[in-house]
Copies of this chain bind each other. A is one copy, B any other.
Amino acid sequence: MLRGGVSRRTAGRQTVPVVLGFRAAGLHCGIKKAGEPDLALVASDAPCAAAGVFTRSTVVGAPVELSRQRVASGRARAVVVNSGISNVAMGARGRRDAAAMTRLASRALGCPDSDVLVASTGVIGEPLPMAKLRAGIPAAVDALSEAGLPDAARAIMTTDTHPKLAWRRVRIGDASVRVAGIAKGVGMSEPNMATVLAFVFSDAAATPGFVRRVLRAAAGETLNRITVDGETSTSDTALLFANGRAGNRVLRGPSSAGAGAFAGAVAGVCEELARMLARDGEGASKLVTVKVTGARNAQEAERAARRIANSMLVKTALFGRDPNWGRILQTVGAGRVALDLARTRVRLGGVTVFKAGASAGPAARRRAETKLAADEVEIEVHLGAGRAADRIWTCDLTYDYVRINAEYTT
């Protein structure tokens, strides 16, 4: 698998992936006050096999309702996204506005309205400024460009400190297939809404059923395995589009030639985006990978990993560079996860700090402290209770998280 794929430079700023047949744009239409880009559009010049995964929250925004319903057909061609206001908890007006956004895009693109998906991210409970979107969406269609993906990545940001792009190129038979994705931010909710949005585009030829399968598997292992504060946004959306322009033999299922390469490329893009999202969590000073092994079953492995990743005590300890295995074991126990303390092992940054039922001692502690100063840290916990494993990405809990989420002017 090659990284970088077909790419070129825009304005000397960033390497840009080009996926055949896709064009993108990002611009400021007036939702955000300070002139930052707040409207993104990505469109394919041909119909795509498409799939989506969405928030499992019982409170969802109108854009999620509409996109979930449309993408169930397995077909789509474009996605229009605004940032700044999330269009959540707005009742009938929210539904009208979401539909109006896709209609503005489909008219300007000249495609069926049902082929356009939509997402919104930002403040909950405020109405979208539709007059601005009525001007902005046609302008975004005019601005579409093969090199526009970085602009789109920037236009979907909320509290993200930088745009997130990832891409891969793989061979499928004689064809070169590209997969490129953009994503935005972690942390949650109004007013510093940080819904996870991830949009992945490929020129692979694949059936809608296989596209759905590939996206679900990739999201399950990557986008669904990041956490900043244990919250799930009302607007989380991940979409995968495949327009077939690469000319490969159509991927119909896991036994199709090249299916594994394509699935691997999509998972690779999603993993790279997921790690960027966790590292850029609100106020985060480091990326933390939590690996749990030796759990009694998959559910307990996941629960242990999520408890550790979401524990305020573990996260503040990581910020404080404190190799605090006591907090790690405590939160696993609090999650009622089976473990055998005598066989439990905790490694921090590769240093064993707890084993055989006891601390590994002050020298190990000091070595681990040094490792915790890095901007990327691994927590490995072996529970000694079975064979199941899981992995979650997260970040530490810092003063800046509190500042971002407590101190702002309403």
Q: A189-B313, A408-B320 are in contact. Are A231 and B331 (CB under 8 A)?
A: yes
Which of A233, A329, A336, A398 lies at the interface centre, i.e. has the most chain B CB atoms within 10 A of its CB? Answer: A329
Complexed CA–CA distance, A404 and B333 (Å): 22
Tell me, yes or no, whether A394 is within 8 Å of chain B by CB. no
Tell me, yes or no, whether A130 is within 8 Å of chain B by CB. no
- What class of interface size applies to chain A in its complex with B? 35 or more
Tell me, yes or no, whether A91 is within 8 Å of chain B by CB. yes
Q: Which of A4-12, A52-60, A70-78 contacts B (4 or more CB under 8 A)?
A: A52-60
**A326 contacts B405, CB within 8 Å?**
no
C-beta contact mask, A173-211 vs B, less than 8 Å → 1, else 0? 000000000000001111100000000000000000000
**A332 contacts B189, CB within 8 Å?**
no
What B residues does A320 contact at CB under 8 A? 405-408
CB distance from A353 to the nearest CB of B (A): 10
C-beta contact mask, A381-410 vs B, less than 8 Å → 1, else 0? 000000000000000011101110111101
Q: A316-B406, A333-B232, A333-B234 are in contact. Are A326 and B58 (CB under 8 A)?
A: no
Tell me, yes or no, whether A88 is within 8 Å of chain B by CB. yes
Closest B residue by C-beta to A93: B358
What B residues does A338 contact at CB under 8 A? 58
Q: A190-B324, A326-B189, A406-B317 are in contact. Are A232 and B89 (CB under 8 A)?
A: no
Tell me, yes or no, whether A124 is within 8 Å of chain B by CB. yes
Main SS of chain A's interface residues? Answer: loop
What B residues does A88 contact at CB under 8 A? 326
**B231 contacts A330, CB within 8 Å?**
yes
What B residues does A189 contact at CB under 8 A? 313, 324, 326-327, 330-331
Query: CB within 8 A of A124: which of B126, B229, B234, B329?
Result: B329
**A57 contacts B401, CB within 8 Å?**
no
What B residues does A405 contact at CB under 8 A? 312-313, 316-317, 320
The 3 closest A-B pairs by CB, nearest first: A59-B333, A124-B326, A320-B406
Task: Taking A57-B336, A189-B326, A399-B403 as given, write out 17 further A-B residue pairs in contact, using a Cβ cutoff of 8 Å, ordered by the A residue number.
Answer: A58-B339, A89-B357, A90-B357, A91-B357, A91-B358, A124-B330, A125-B354, A188-B313, A188-B327, A188-B330, A190-B326, A230-B310, A232-B334, A319-B406, A320-B406, A320-B408, A399-B402
